């Protein structure tokens, strides 16, 4: 089997030296169609209605309990220091009993945690509120665009 690369009647200036991109475009279109078909199949998830994020300003009511945890893990009830977690639980239980006795709305615990406080210290406060029977706990934060 013989093959001639050039013939004497063709001049080198007349040869077509451009790249034929038609096969490349065909292959890319086939790959695009394959990806468009397989991606929805691969992303099958359980349909869940996610909550919408809203920035609602906190309304502090007189019966709410404001607890602060500073960077040294000291706990404060409003502005008064609390000696230990047992005292904190006792104060929360007393606030719940007072609300029940008066027929008022149950208090909400609002926790203000220092940015450099360990998560464990704030977690203990949440756990103490749970042990005391507090039905609602909130976290006070600063908006993202607030000056530091």
User: What are the boundaries of each domain within the chain?
Assistant: 65-139
Residue 8: the pLDDT is 59
Return averaged pLDDT per consecutive 10 residues of the chain, 148 residues in all. 57 72 91 85 61 61 82 89 92 90 86 88 92 89 61
pTM beyond 0.85: the answer is no
pLDDT tens for each residue of 64-106 = 888 999 888 899 998 899 989 999 999 999 999 998 888 888 8
| Pairing verdict, β 136-139 and 108-113 | parallel
Q: Could you name the CATH architecture of 65-139?
A: 2-Layer Sandwich (3.30)
DSSP secondary structure string for all residues of 61-73: -TT-EEEEE-TT-
DSSP secondary structure string for all residues of 91-132: HHHHHHHHHHHHTPPPPEEEEEE-TTS-HHHHHHHHHHHHHH
Rounded CA-CA distance 113/111 in Å is 6
């Amino acid at each position: 089997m013989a093959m001639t690369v050039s013939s004497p009647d063709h001049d080198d200036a007349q040869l077509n030296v451009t790249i034929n991109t038609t096969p490349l475009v065909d292959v890319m279109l086939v790959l695009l169609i394959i990806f468009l078909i397989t991606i929805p199949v691969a992303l099958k998830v359980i349909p869940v209605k996610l909550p919408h994020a809203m920035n609602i300003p906190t309304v502090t009511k007189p019966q709410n309990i404001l607890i602060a945890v500073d960077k040294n893990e000291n706990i404060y009830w409003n502005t008064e220091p609390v000696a230990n977690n047992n005292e904190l639980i006792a104060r929360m239980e007393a606030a719940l009993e007072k609300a029940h006795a008066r027929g008022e709305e149950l208090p909400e615990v609002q926790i203000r945690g220092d940015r450099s406080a360990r998560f464990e210290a704030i977690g203990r406060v949440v756990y103490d509120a749970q042990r005391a029977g507090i039905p609602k706990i909130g976290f006070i934060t600063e908006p993202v665009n607030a000056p530091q």
